[in-house]
Amino acid sequence: MTSQERPRLRPYLAAAIDENDPEHILLYDRLGLAERPWRISRAEFHWVRLFDGRRTLHDIHAQGGQDAEVAWPLERLTRLVERLDEALFLDGPRFWERLADPIREPTCIGCYEGEPDALRRQVRGLFTGGRGPGLPREGRPDGRLRAALIPHIDYHRGGHSFAWGFKEVFERTDAELFVIIGTSHYSPARFTLTRKHFKTPLGVAQTDQGYIDRLVAHYGDGLFDDELTHLPEHSIELEVVFLQYLYENRRPIRIVPLLVGPFQDCVEDGRVPANKQDIGRMVEALRQAEAETQEPICYIISGDLAHIGPKFGDPEPVNEVLIAKSRAGDQAILRQAEAADPAGYFRVIAAEGDRRRICGLPPTYTLLEAVHPSRGQILNYDQYVHPRGYESVSFASVAFYR
């Protein structure tokens, strides 16, 4: 039976009332496959809510048509289903065929320039601008860099901090394989991989299928259960752009995109995350995959620090007192990062109940526990503060050495 006979809305859709016309509803595609929201009437939304995949279109028509105000002929309802299917809003063959493409299209254009030369100028400016570290030095890297924590805030607010981290990456690692471990903002799944290659205006970054095979072999099933979450996620893509810029026309690079979901259960019960069965299994899988990899690996941790203010659910606007307090909390976390102490890093965050929403906790803890660098070094720290106190996001670049 086709998706049109038992229609079901696909994952990663959201609905909101159109502020400009309250009689209409906007359907948003969080995967970014649709270029703009799909605008439907309240009557259409009445029917769309019934598309759960459990009932035939005839059953839906019989049930939903009991309300005289929205009673439709079956033919009109059929046309609505066809329109949804054509727009890739239904869970069916047309939608999944679109997702079969082995290349992930960029979703962060706007955060960065969409034209290649303009993007190169933008990234170069993040190195050479007033808050940047200057351009990376050419030369033979000493290979001492094990990993780097780099933000994933948008370039306009935090791009200079990216530049500090990636300058150290360029100067201190000879790796061609970059395992990027990023915060998952869209899925509760603990760990999620994708085999898709990542496209940006600077080209296509190839994903290392052999490394993924090794990681899956040691971890087991489940790493692709919510692979869709990679499509709208920015925490990998924003790091890929910098890698492409740095190594373009220098040496070929490959990536491994791994997303890490929330550790809130660890914070709530106070247990060191590695004691959780799935987290401990990933830590060991990363170690084993590296042991079987016959080349250097550089790990990129994609994570920010605190998220405070009304935008994130806090009752008060951000002010100087809150900013100073949050900065002190960040420094306590970063001291543990510099000590390369994953348990200490976690305990600082857990002690405050993660009230400041440290989104870099899951990928940073996982990586530090897996690779055990000897020490860390803060390269850059900063806080973005909204001019009217609506939000503040802090972030840092930290290098980890052998």
| In the predicted structure, residue 68 carries a pLDDT above the cut 70 | no
- Cα–Cα distance measured from residue 254 to residue 296, given in angstroms and rounded to the nearest whole number: 12
pLDDT at 34: 80
Average pLDDT of 40-57?
90
Q: Nearest CA to 123 among 52, 26, 202, 226?
A: 202
pLDDT at 4: 62
| Whole-number percent of the chain with pLDDT over 70 | 98
**pLDDT digit string, tens, across residues 321-347:** 999 999 999 999 999 999 999 999 999
Of the pLDDT bands very low, low, confident and very high (cuts 50, 70, 90), residue 172 is very high
Of the pLDDT bands very low, low, confident and very high (cuts 50, 70, 90), residue 98 is confident
| In the predicted structure, residue 279 carries a pLDDT above the cut 90 | yes
**pLDDT digit string, tens, across residues 194-204:** 999 999 999 99
Q: What number of helices (H) and strands (E) belong to the chain?
A: 13, 14
pLDDT at 32: 83
pLDDT at 71: 78
Look-up of token digits 């809003």:
89
| In the predicted structure, residue 1 carries a pLDDT above the cut 60 | no
Average pLDDT of 348-371?
98
Q: Is the dihedral of CA 363, 365, 370, 375 positive or negative?
A: positive
Average pLDDT of 67-94?
86
Kindly report the average pLDDT of the chain as a whole number: 94
For the ranges 4-8, 42-46, 164-168, the maximum mean pLDDT occurs at: 164-168
Angle at CA of residue 152, ends 149 and 153, nearest 5°:
130
Could you give the C-alpha distances from 283 to 83, 187, 200, 369, 374, in angstroms and in order? 45, 20, 30, 7, 17
pTM for the model: 0.92
Residue type, 99: L
Ramachandran bin of 316, using left for φ above 0, alpha for ψ from -120 to 50, beta for the remaining angles: beta
- Cα–Cα distance measured from residue 319 to residue 309, given in angstroms and rounded to the nearest whole number: 9
pLDDT at 262: 97
Average pLDDT of 253-281?
97
The structural domains of the chain, ordered by start, are 13-99 (no CATH), 103-401 (3.40.830.10)
| In the predicted structure, residue 152 carries a pLDDT above the cut 90 | yes
* Least trusted range by pLDDT, from 45-49, 172-176, 386-390: 45-49
